[in-house]
Structure 1
Amino acid sequence: MSLRNFFYVFLALIGLMILAVMALIRIEGLSLTDAVWLATISITTVGYGDVVPKTVSGRLVTMGLILSGVGLYTYVLSTLMVIISEGQLYDLLGEKRRKKMIGKLNNHIIVCGLGRVGSEVFDTLKREGQTFMAIEKDPARAENYRNSTIPIIIGDASQDAVLLQAGILRASTLITTLPEDAGNLFIVMTSKDLNPNIKVITRATRNEGIPRLKRGGADSIISPSTLGGKRMAMAAIKPASVAFVQTLFEQKNINYQIEELTINSSSPLANKHLKDSGLREKFGCQLLLINRTGTPIPNPNPDDMILPGDELIIFGPSDKLTDLERA
């Protein structure tokens, strides 16, 4: 049932009531209250009889109101009951709430697709307390997240209007998890066209699709099948190491984590040697890698300098990492 049609009929009913009230005031000389009362009891077919038209013209106006208005009133009332019973009113209010939430998002993550891979991305981002929203084309699949506090748009993520509604101009990252490489490629190209500075992470189903996704502008390409195969092989060869890494990334109550920190010019770590940074002494953390302009520096030496713009990969206790981020 179309909410737009209901809105138009409701406006027509209100307009008819206004015209009838104005006519009754002019013809019958009624007060505003009596005219509204007469129009209301006439259009609802209640007809108490305490206020009645006394002139022929007034009766003709009332007859016209009854003949034309009862149908509109019945349609509006029945449609309203159907909307409430089918949950369309809840969806309408929920849609307004989602638009308001999305309008407040900034530097957020957009997740495109809530299939098997997308649902894992969704759950992980929510568990990590990240600011994000999702786009899902299938209404039935999106219904599974109806009670979630995360805003979800039902639509095609390859369309400009949908991405703009998701706030892509203000977003920092887009993750597309569609099962088809062609669909992911189109979303990558569209998102980069709308926001060239956004970081795009995409899923690759086939290895031959990876070069195309790179040329399309993807910043990071993940192949679940390749990663899964390597992880299974490593689990057979080095089970303890794989179990340890899996524990770090999948368990919430583990006290140790791996964190990424980007150093800016005002950071107290900027332009300091690693041995003078206090990472280990003050925070009990271990610097695993420095990513400098795309060049990784693994297992840095104590004399290595930490520069503005460096991305540090740090391992340590969760509470100490939080303190380090604040510092």
Structure 2
Amino acid sequence: MDRRRDWVGARAAILLPTVVAILSFATGVVNISEAPVFGPLAAYVPRSAQRAAGFTGALTGFTLLVGVFGLRRRLRLGWYVTAILLPVSAAQGLVQSSAVSVPLVVLSLVSIPTMLFNRQRFDRAIDLSTAQLAAGAALIGAQVYGTAGTFALREEFNNVSTLTDAFYYTLVTASTVGYGDVTPNTEQATLFAMSVVVLGTASFAIALGTLLGPAIEKRLSEALGNMTDAQLELFQDHVLVLGYGDLTEPILEELTGAVEFVVITPDTDTASRLQQRDIAVLTADPSDEEPLQRAGIEDASAVVAATNDDAQDALSLLTANNMNPSATLVAAATDRENIEKLRRAGADTVISPAVIGGHLIVQSALGREGMESVADTILEVDDER
């Protein structure tokens, strides 16, 4: 059942469009050059249309990658972009009419039902920071200013007669490429060109900063033993381990290899050590709603709290229960008197290792035989699972 879910779940909805994006770009580049005609539309597709489909297919592949990035963050906008471009990619593959475009068409069509099936999984609105909004506005504003001004002064520039020429000049000037094929002929046009250089390069620099910022943040997160949102958002039917203590390590050993899990701990040193062992970890207070939401509490199948602080565990379980009442909540009580408190906090199961161990030891001390075999039986049953 888990393997079947992998083929139709959120991971497949991200993986398949990624492969389609790569194929679309690759086949588009191949079909721009000479490629043998193939397929049912081969006799009806002019060579010029095939090349145009190859050029636009490469652009579609690149844009699909942007959509996939949105899917990784479970953005609704990413889902719309991908859902629209998958049929476009299939159509471009048909128009390209070459043998190399057959896998593109097939995989694009296969990806569409998977995207529709997982539509509800991608429900997050895009959340842009003030800096990102400012960068986008500056970049668009500079391009509009340069294009409109160049077109208005087109008689004072050589090789500018259309809006496309004006946009081309603005783009190559603002990006500091400057091919030199379009130049101003008057002093007024020269002054305007200088303003385009200043405004354009500034807008590109701001946009570049907003792109590098998340990358730097990712590096810092990894250095602190923290996972990024893009990594956390891929978890599904996983287990959340709230906090870390003496009882937690055996739990992690049992969970490793059996099910996906995420540890939430406020201790940066512990988080760093866990990440070095390839354990998914988030450095935060496990009793706060924000880190639980980032760790996918709404998609978690179970929550475990087993630290040395029963009060902190109770608070963490209470928060988790409020955010996902359907998840199974399990707690380990350090003190026997806190068992009922943990149950009232929402724990479905409360186990006290100290009480269990103490009971077995006392029974053995009183002369009752078989206590050691009871412990061995518990471990054997656990191993047989």
In the superposition, the TM-score normalised over structure 2's length comes to 0.49
How far off its partner does 1:124 sit? 1.0
Say which structure is richer in strand: 1
- Is 1:126 aligned to 2:253, yes or no? no
**CA displacement at 1:115 relative to structure 2:** 4.2
CA RMSD of aligned residues (A): 4.4
Alpha-carbon shift at residue 235 of structure 1 (Å): 9.3
8 A contact 1:158–1:186 mirrored in 2? yes
Structure 1 residues 190 and 26: alpha-carbon distance in aligned structure 2, compared to 1, 3 A threshold: same
In structure 1, which of residues 239, 258, 263 is the aligned counterpart of residue 381 of structure 2? Answer: 258
Whether 1:187 aligns to 2:187 is: no
Match of 2:139 among 14, 35, 39: 14
Amino acid at match of 1:21: T
Are the counterparts in 1 of residues 142 and 203 from structure 2 also a CA contact under 8 Å?
no
Distance 2:297 2:208 in 1: 40
In the TM superposition, what whole-angstrom CA distance separates every residue of 1:271-312 from its partner, at most 9, and x where no partner exists? xxxxxxxxxxxxxxxxxxxxxxxxxxxxxxxxxxxxxxxxxx
Query: Structure 1 residue 183: deviation in Å?
Result: 1.4
Note the 1:215-234 alignment, pairs <5 A. 215-226=344-355
Q: How many residues are paired up?
A: 248
Distance 1:163 1:87 in 2: 19
Q: Which residue, out of 72, 92, 95, partners 2:229?
A: 95
CA contact (8 A) 2:232 2:296 kept: no
**Using the alignment, how far apart are the partners of 1:205 and 1:63 within structure 2?**
71
Aligned residue number for residue 266 of structure 1: none
2:96 aligns to what? none
* Match of residue 196, structure 2, among 65, 69, 80: 65
Q: Which protein has the bigger helix share?
A: 2
Distance in 1 of aligned mates of 2:326 and 2:205: 54
Q: Give deviations 1:203-236, integer Å, cap 9, x for gaps.
A: 3333443332233332333345555666777899
Give distance in 1, aligned partners of 2:373 and 2:195.
Answer: 79
Q: What fraction of aligned residue pairs are identical, expressed as a percent? A: 25
By how many angstroms is 1:186 displaced? 1.3
1:15 Cα deviation (Å)? 1.0
Aligned with 2:330 (options 201, 213, 232): 201
Alignment partner, residue 271 of structure 1: none
| Higher Cα Rg, which structure | 1
Q: Deviations over 1:49-79 (max 9, x none)?
A: 3321234554343222223333343454467
TM-score, L = length of structure 1: 0.56
Whether the 8 Å contact between 1:16 and 1:69 is mirrored in structure 2 is no
- Deviation at residue 175 of structure 1 after TM alignment: 0.7
Task: Classify the secondary structure of the residue corresponding to 2:153.
Answer: helix
Deviations 1:81-127 (A, max 9, x none): 6765675499799522431x23xx24x43221244433432221124
Aligned to 1:258, the other structure's residue is in SS state helix
- Residue 142 of structure 1 and its aligned partner are, at CA, apart by 3.3
For structure 1, the residue ranges without an aligned partner over 5 or more in a row are: 250-256, 260-316, 322-327
Q: Which runs of 5+ in 2 are unaligned?
A: 1-127, 155-159
Please tell me whether the aligned partners of residues 111 and 132 of structure 1 are also in contact (alpha carbons under 8 angstroms): yes
Amino acid of the residue matched to residue 193 of structure 1?
N
Alignment-mate amino acid for residue 136 of structure 1: T
Name the aligned partner's letter for residue 123 of structure 1. Answer: E
Q: Is the aligned partner of 1:27 residue 2:156?
A: no
